[in-house]
């Protein structure tokens, strides 16, 4: 028998969350962002839930090819553009749309003669200072792109740094609007946070990622509770149960000491599955439907939980590390991180299993 840990992918939840994104931005088209192997959900498992998107956005060439092999014939956007010269062949062969964020991209494209002019997303650095042409350089880059025969339709693109927080998007919006003023082309600005919370930034195409997977862009479960549904449940089982006596310690480093007699459950899930080793004592976990806590140090293949609130849980009891019973944001918050990191960290040895092959959208 395989180890009992599995990442259940909820197709219906993906479809639901995509519909929420659409309802948030009813006048925009939606790029469903599936980079990082669909935020750890596996592209093949996420795709059936995201088929209603207008386009699918990602980073890796091989993920784009996989998506075509899965039968997706709609638009695919390469969010970081191309990485080397020969990537242009993939772009042309598979009909991809690519971000252009750098001088080199424009220079390389000037030398190509594609059979059809390539649609591009011309990226402006409106303040995040990672990728894109600075406002000073943007209009010149636009003019050169327009005059490059290899380039077809140009969409104006930027990315927000603080759409999920109190600073919001207004400073970057101002830079973007001033710089883009009068330039023809569609606009694409909004990640999940801006899709959810900044209607003035929706433009022609929104680019939600994390919200499709049911986590809050802000990292606070309450911010999207009741609106989004978790698309992954990381589940496992108890392999063993130990009874500690007062003063007994638990696991590597003996970091936990029992104050009184207590039962401990040993869960088949460790950091080699992607569960953070840094999860502190008290990190929430659900056993047998009851919320309890991690105690002791997370090891490679196992972690240990307090069974005090679940007296009936024995070997084989169901464990949910996060998912429909426990928001991933709650676990992430306890671990000092965000849902994005937890879901993308689930390792390859954890099987992804779709629990629903017929989405209701
Ligand atoms: C990842 C990414 C997104 C999606 O961001 P979320 O916060 O997951 O919604 C949108 N646009 C770009 C350029 C990205 O890299």
User: What is the spatial distance between Cα 20 and Cα 32, in angstroms, rounded to a whole number?
Assistant: 12
Show Cβ contacts of residue 70 under 8 Å, excluding neighbours closer than 6 positions: 43, 44, 47
Choose one of 191, 338, 340 to mutate for the ligand 1 pocket test, by most ligand atoms within 8 angstroms of C-beta: 191
Ligand 1 neighbours, Cβ below 6 Å, are 33, 35, 79, 159, 191-192, 207-210, 217
* pLDDT, tens only, 305-331: 999 999 999 999 999 999 999 999 999
Mean pLDDT of 293-302: 98
Choose one of 57, 213, 216 to mutate for the ligand 1 pocket test, by most ligand atoms within 8 angstroms of C-beta: 57
> Ligand 1, atom 14: nearest CA belongs to which residue?
79
Share of the chain above pLDDT 90, in %: 94
Burial grade of 11 (CB within 10 A; 0-12, 13-18, 19 or more): buried
82: which 2 tokens? 């191309």
Distance 201 CA to ligand 1 centre (A): 14
> Ligand 1, atom 10: nearest CA belongs to which residue?
191
- Evaluate whether 122 touches 89 at the Cβ level (below 8 Å): no
Residue 359 pLDDT > 80: no
User: What is the spatial distance between Cα 63 and Cα 47, in angstroms, rounded to a whole number?
Assistant: 12
Q: Which residue has the higher pLDDT, 286 or 109?
A: 286
Give pLDDT, residue 2. Answer: 77
- Evaluate whether 239 touches 315 at the Cβ level (below 8 Å): yes
* pLDDT, tens only, 4-40: 999 999 999 999 999 999 999 999 999 999 999 999 9
Q: Which CATH architecture has domain 11-215?
A: Alpha-Beta Barrel (3.20)
**Which residue intervals of the chain bear CATH 3.20.20.10?**
11-215
Which H/E stretch holds residue 64?
helix 61-69
Distance 86 CA to ligand 1 centre (A): 25
Computed from CA positions of residues 146, 148, 149, 153, in that sequence, does the dihedral angle turn out positive or negative?
negative
- Evaluate whether 32 touches 55 at the Cβ level (below 8 Å): yes
User: What is the spatial distance between Cα 141 and Cα 123, in angstroms, rounded to a whole number?
Assistant: 10
Give the pLDDT band of residue 112 (cuts 50, 70, 90). Answer: confident
Strand partners, 33: 57
Which of 56-65, 201-210, 350-359 is the least confident region? Answer: 350-359
Which of 183-192, 234-243, 352-361 is the least confident region? Answer: 352-361
- Evaluate whether 360 touches 10 at the Cβ level (below 8 Å): no
Write out the catalytic residue numbers. 35, 252
Q: What is the CA radius of gyration of the chain?
A: 23
User: What is the spatial distance between Cα 147 and Cα 114, in angstroms, rounded to a whole number?
Assistant: 15
Residue 360 pLDDT > 60: no
Reduce the DSSP state of residue 292 to 3 states and report it.
strand
Residue 1 pLDDT > 70: no
Distance 126 CA to ligand 1 centre (A): 15
Average pLDDT, the chain: 96
Backbone angles phi, psi at 160, to 5 degrees: -95, 145
* pLDDT, tens only, 135-192: 999 999 999 999 999 999 999 999 999 999 999 999 999 999 999 999 999 999 999 9
Regarding the domain delimited by 232-354, which CATH topology (the fold level of the hierarchy) does it fall under?
A: Lyase, Ornithine Decarboxylase; Chain A, domain 1 (2.40.37)
Give the pLDDT band of residue 215 (cuts 50, 70, 90). Answer: very high
Distance 211 CA to ligand 1 centre (A): 10
Residue 361 pLDDT > 70: no
263: which 2 tokens? 């039962």
**Which residue intervals of the chain bear CATH 2.40.37.10?**
232-354
In this prediction the pTM is 0.96
> Ligand 1, atom 1: nearest CA belongs to which residue?
209
Residue 358 pLDDT > 80: no
Mean pLDDT of 246-250: 98
Which of these, 28, 30, 36, lies nearest to 17 by C-alpha position?
Answer: 30
């Amino acid at each position: 028998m395989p180890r009992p840990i599995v990442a259940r992918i909820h197709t219906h939840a993906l479809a639901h969350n995509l519909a929420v994104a659409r309802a948030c931005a009813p006048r925009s088209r939606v790029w469903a962002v599936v980079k990082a192997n669909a935020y750890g959900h596996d592209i093949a498992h996420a795709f059936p839930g995201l088929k209603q998107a207008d386009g699918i956005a990602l980073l890796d060439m091989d993920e784009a090819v996989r998506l075509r092999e899965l039968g997706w014939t709609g638009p695919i956007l390469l969010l970081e553009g191309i990485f080397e010269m020969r990537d242009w062949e993939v772009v042309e062969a598979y009909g991809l749309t690519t971000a252009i964020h750098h001088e080199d991209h424009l220079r390389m494209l000037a030398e190509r003669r594609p059979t059809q002019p390539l649609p591009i997303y011309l990226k402006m650095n409106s303040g995040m200072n990672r990728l894109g042409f600075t406002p000073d350089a943007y209009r010149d880059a636009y003019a050169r792109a327009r005059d490059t025969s290899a380039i077809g339709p140009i969409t104006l693109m930027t990315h927000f740094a603080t759409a999920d927080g109190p600073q919001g998007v207004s400073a970057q919006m101002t830079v973007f609007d001033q710089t883009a003023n009068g330039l023809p082309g569609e606009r694409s600005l909004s990640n999940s946070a801006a899709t959810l919370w900044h209607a003035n930034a929706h433009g022609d195409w929104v680019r939600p990622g994390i919200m499709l997977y049911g986590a809050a862009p802000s990292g606070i479960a309450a911010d999207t509770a009741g609106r989004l549904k978790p698309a992954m449940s990381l589940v496992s089982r108890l392999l063993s149960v130990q009874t500690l006596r007062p003063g007994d310690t638990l696991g590597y480093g003996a970091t936990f000491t029992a104050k009184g007699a207590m039962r401990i459950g040993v869960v088949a899930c460790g950091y080699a599955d992607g569960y953070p080793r840094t999860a502190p004592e008290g990190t929430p976990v659900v056993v047998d439907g009851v919320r309890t806590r991690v105690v002791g140090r997370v090891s490679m293949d196992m972690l240990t939980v307090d069974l005090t609130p679940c007296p009936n849980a024995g070997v084989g009891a169901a464990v949910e590390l996060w998912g429909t019973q426990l928001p991933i944001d709650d676990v992430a918050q306890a671990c000092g991180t965000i849902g994005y990191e937890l879901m993308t960290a689930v390792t390859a040895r954890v099987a992804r299993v779709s629990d629903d092959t017929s989405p209701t959208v």
